[in-house]
């Protein structure tokens, strides 16, 4: 079945440091890929997405590129802020028999990020 | 406020109690979901409803009983739960299908209901 594997956390960085959170996946065909973020006491929010190979999703300074050849979707940010402290989830949405995606997502286990001033 | 509202935010119940979690979405979406979030585990999809019809039940124990009376409301009825059922239960909605365009597959989550079973 489909699966998503994220790097183990927690990740602790100083403000303005470079961030990478690794994500690899196993799925048939060409799933859509997502990063969601969960701030303390809140539900998950979509951070960015990519729907086909070589697509780059970006939002709030975060980027991730859909790499079909390495089945990866690593999250990066050049300069993190204290306000980026949260849990980050990588996820995929498979294709159904008709060749279209639908909303049943498979999530990774989440990576806790803490940024210190 | 994301457009998906969950109540109650916190619930403590004994193993013999019966309670319900409620979810309401004001986004006009056609699909709704229950996910379970436990510490140090991936989010687990429990149930999926599409146009009020249940399309997915991920081998969830019968002590969890979903109900979707219309496309805007989703309930999770709880009875005779176990302490290991303590978790954050997240409701989500999405607009699915070819007509959804760029918003397809994007889940909007509620803030969750934190359940503690004693």
Q: Is A81 on the interface with B (CB under 8 A)?
A: no
Q: Do A109 and B40 touch (CB under 8 A)?
A: yes
- pLDDT tens string B73-88: 999 999 999 999 999 9
Confidence band of B89 (pLDDT split at 50, 70, 90) = very high
- pLDDT tens string B90-117: 999 988 765 555 556 688 999 999 999 9
Q: Check the CA dihedral A8-A10-A12-A18 and report its sign.
A: positive
Q: What is the rounded average pLDDT for all residues in chain B?
A: 87
Nearest by CB to B90, which of A43, A100, A110? A43
Q: Do A109 and B41 touch (CB under 8 A)?
A: yes
- pLDDT tens string A4-25: 999 888 999 999 999 999 999 9
3-state secondary structure of A34: strand
Among all residues of chain B, which has the CA nearest to that of A109? B42
Q: What is the pLDDT of residue B50?
A: 82
Contact B33, B27 (CB under 8 A): no
Write out the two tokens for B72.
């805007």
Rounded percentage of chain A residues whose pLDDT exceeds 70? 92
Residues B17-46: what's their mean pLDDT?
91
Long-range contacts of the stretch B96-104 (C-beta < 8 A, 24+): B96/A102, B96/A103, B96/B30, B96/B31, B96/B50, B97/A100, B97/A102, B97/B30, B98/A100, B104/A32, B104/A100, B104/A101, B104/A102, B104/A103
Q: Quick count: other Cβ atoms within 10 Å of Cβ B92? A: 28
Nearest by CB to A105, which of B40, B98, B107? B107
**Residue A40 CA from chain centroid, whole number:** 18
Q: Which residues from A are below 8 Å from B3, CB to CB?
A: none
Q: What is the rounded average pLDDT for all residues in chain A?
A: 90
Which H or E run contains A45?
Answer: strand A44-50
Query: Chain B neighbours among A 33-72 (CB < 8 Å)?
Result: 34, 36, 41-46, 49
Does pLDDT of A53 surpass 60?
Answer: yes
Contact B110, B90 (CB under 8 A): yes
Alpha carbon distance B54, B48 (integer Å): 6
A7-16, A105-114, B26-35, B52-61: which range is least confident on average?
B52-61
């Amino acid at each position: 079945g489909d699966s998503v594997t994220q790097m183990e956390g927690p990740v602790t960085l100083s403000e303005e440091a470079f961030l990478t959170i690794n994500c690899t996946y196993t799925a048939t065909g060409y799933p859509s890929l997502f990063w969601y973020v969960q701030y303390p006491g809140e539900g998950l929010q979509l951070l960015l997405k990519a729907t086909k190979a070589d697509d780059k999703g970006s939002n709030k300074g975060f980027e991730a590129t859909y790499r079909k050849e390495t089945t990866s979707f690593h999250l990066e940010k050049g300069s993190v802020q204290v306000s980026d402290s949260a849990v980050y989830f990588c996820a995929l949405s498979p294709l159904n028999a008709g060749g279209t995606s639908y909303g049943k997502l498979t999530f990774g286990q989440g990576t806790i990020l803490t940024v210190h001033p | 406020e994301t457009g998906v509202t969950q109540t109650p935010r916190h619930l403590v119940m004994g193993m013999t109690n019966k309670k319900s979690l409620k979810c309401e979405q004001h986004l006009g979406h056609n699909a709704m979901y229950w996910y379970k979030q436990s510490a140090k585990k991936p989010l687990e999809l429990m149930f999926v409803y599409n146009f009020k019809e249940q399309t997915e039940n991920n081998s969830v124990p019968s002590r969890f009983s979903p109900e979707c009376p219309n496309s805007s409301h989703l309930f999770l009825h709880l009875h005779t739960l176990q302490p290991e059922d303590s978790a954050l239960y997240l409701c989500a909605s999405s607009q699915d299908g070819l007509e959804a365009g760029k918003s397809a597959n994007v889940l909007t989550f509620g803030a969750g209901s934190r359940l503690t079973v004693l």
